[in-house]
Amino acid sequence: MKFRKVKRRIVVGTTPGIKFLAQIVKGETINFKTMAEMMVTSSTVSKGDTLNVLDSLITQTLFMLEAGHSVKYDGFGTFYPRPKVKAVDTIEDVTADTVKNVGIGFLPEIDARKKMKSVPIHIEDNETPTT
């Protein structure tokens, strides 16, 4: 994983001021088509079939999340419904309006976390840190 050196003005903490830190150099976002092409090279499944499976995976995952279920992908992690709610004073005040929104949470499996924690880090040499 690549990082670059950057200069930032930090305004919180015990020693605010100009600081230097590592910032990830993000690669391009990989879309389904590209992911399917990558998966085809390591299996006997066609690109079209792979795209259909990935599309169905998302459709069914969202269906289960909307129904209040968590969805676990072994070796990767668990997606779960993550509501944001407002606390009220009485039980009678709890209504659908007190549920502000429902997002999606993700909890990676231990092996996936360990894999990401052990990824090799490379800091790019740059003459002047970017701001």
pLDDT of amino acid 126: 74
In DSSP terms, which residues pair with 106 in a beta bridge? 79
Quick check: is 115 in a domain? no
Does residue 73 carry a pLDDT above 90?
yes
Which residue in 112, 108, 105, 109 sits closest to 80, CA to CA? 105
Other C-beta atoms closer than 10 Å to the C-beta of 5 total 16
pLDDT of amino acid 128: 63
Quick check: is 90 in a domain? no
Q: Residue 106: enclosing H or E segment and its boundaries?
A: strand 99-108
The stretch 53-76 carries a mean pLDDT of 95
pLDDT digits (tens, 9 = 90+) for 13-62: 899 999 999 999 998 999 888 988 999 999 898 999 999 999 999 999 99
Quick check: is 57 in a domain? yes
Quick check: is 37 in a domain? yes
Quick check: is 26 in a domain? no
What residues make up the domain containing 39? 31-67
Tokens of 100: 């502000």
Does residue 125 carry a pLDDT above 90?
no
Q: What is the dihedral of CA 57, 62, 67, 70, to 10 degrees?
A: 70
Q: What are phi and psi of 38, to 5 degrees?
A: -65, -40
pLDDT digits (tens, 9 = 90+) for 80-119: 999 999 999 999 999 999 999 999 999 999 999 999 999 9
Quick check: is 94 in a domain? no
| Burial group, residue 2, by CB count within 10 angstroms (0-12, 13-18, 19+) | middle
**What percent of the chain stands above pLDDT 90?**
73
Number of domains the chain is built from: 1
Place of tokens 């009220």: 88
Q: What is the dihedral of CA 41, 45, 49, 54, to 10 degrees?
A: -60
